[in-house]
Amino acid sequence: MKKGFLDISFSWIFAILIGGIILFAAIYGVGKVSRIQETKVSAETATDIGGLLSSLETSIESAKSIYLKLPVESRIRNKCDSYEGFGRVGISIDEYIKNQWASSGINVYFENKYLFSSDYEEGRGFYAFTKPFEFPFKVANLIYLTSEDEEYCFVGTPLKMQKEIDELNQPNLFTENCEKNTSMIQVCFTKTNCDIVVGLTGKYVRKGTEQVYFDGDALMYAAIFSDKDIYECEVLRLMQRTKELTKIYEDKALRVKEVGCNSDVLTDLNLFESEIGVLNSSKDLAQLKLTSDTLKNGNDHAKCKLW
C-alpha cells in the first residue's frame, strides 16, 4: 500500500514539475514576444516622428507648428551626439504600459536634424515648430519639441517675437493674460524671478543656476525649450556644420575670383573657419558673432554674392 502511494505521489510530482516548466516557458515566450513587439512599435514610432519632423522642416510656410498625437502616454527621449562629423540626434520612445514605463532601449538616429527639447518630453500630445538658423548664411532648420502638458507664458516679450509666437497658434504658448497663472512655465525678458530668464543684451538664457548663450532668435528659442546638455551638444553640431559650409564658400570664393569677380570675403571666411575650430561651448558664440557680422556685411555689399 505504501509503495503504491509513493509511486502515485512521485508521478504527480513529476507531472507537476514538467507542467510547471512548460507553463513557465510559455509565459516567458509570450512575455518575450510581447517585449519584442513593444520594442518594434517604439522604434517604428520614433521613425514616424522623424518623418513628421522632416515634413515640418521642408514646409514652405514660415513659423508653422505641427501636433503629434501618440496612442499611449509616452516619453520622447532626445539623445544628442556631437563626437564626429556633423554628429547626430537620436529619438527613442518610452511607453506607459500596464502601470509602468517600458523602454525600448532603441534610438533612431538622424544626422541631418537639430532637435531642441528637454532630455525627454512626456505626454500623449506634443507640439513642434521650426526656424532657420543663419550664421551668417543658412546653416540648418532648428526644431523645437514640447509636450502639450507644459504651458509657457512669455512675459515682456519683444513685439516681433510676440507676433511670431501668436502666429504659430500653438496652444501651449501664451503671450498675454498668463503671468498670474502659476502652473505655467514663466519665460521673462524684463524680470529675473521667473522659471526662465532671457537676457537680450547679454544674449543668455538662464534656468535656475544654469546659463547658456545664444545668437539670433533661432538659438534663443532653442535655449528656452531645451535642457543645457542638449542645447550645448546641438550648438556644437551646428558649428561643425557651419565650419564645413564655410569651406564650401571658401572654394566658391576662389572660383568666383578666377572669373574676375572678387567677393572680398575670402580672408574673413578663412578667419571664421579657424575661430569655429576652437569653439568649446555656446559662450564662445559672442566671439564668432563679430566675424559672422563682418561676413554678412561683406557678402551683402559684394558684386558677386556667395550666398
What ranges do the domains of the chain cover? 234-300
For position 105, what pLDDT does the model report?
Answer: 74
* SS3 label, residue 132: strand
* SS3 label, residue 282: helix
Q: Rounded CA gap, 214 and 222, in Å?
A: 9
Contact, 117 vs 78, CB < 8 A? yes
For position 34, what pLDDT does the model report?
Answer: 42
What phi-psi label fits residue 88: left (phi over 0), alpha (psi between -120 and 50 degrees) or beta?
beta
Contact, 131 vs 217, CB < 8 A? yes
Regions of the chain with pLDDT less than 70: 1-44, 46, 50-52, 55, 57-63
For position 16, what pLDDT does the model report?
Answer: 54
Contact, 104 vs 42, CB < 8 A? yes
Q: What is the pTM of this model?
A: 0.83
Q: Rounded CA gap, 134 and 138, in Å?
A: 4
For position 36, what pLDDT does the model report?
Answer: 44
Exposure class string for 209-229: b at 16+ Cβ within 10 A, else e:
eebbbbbbebbbbbbbbbbbe
For position 128, what pLDDT does the model report?
Answer: 96
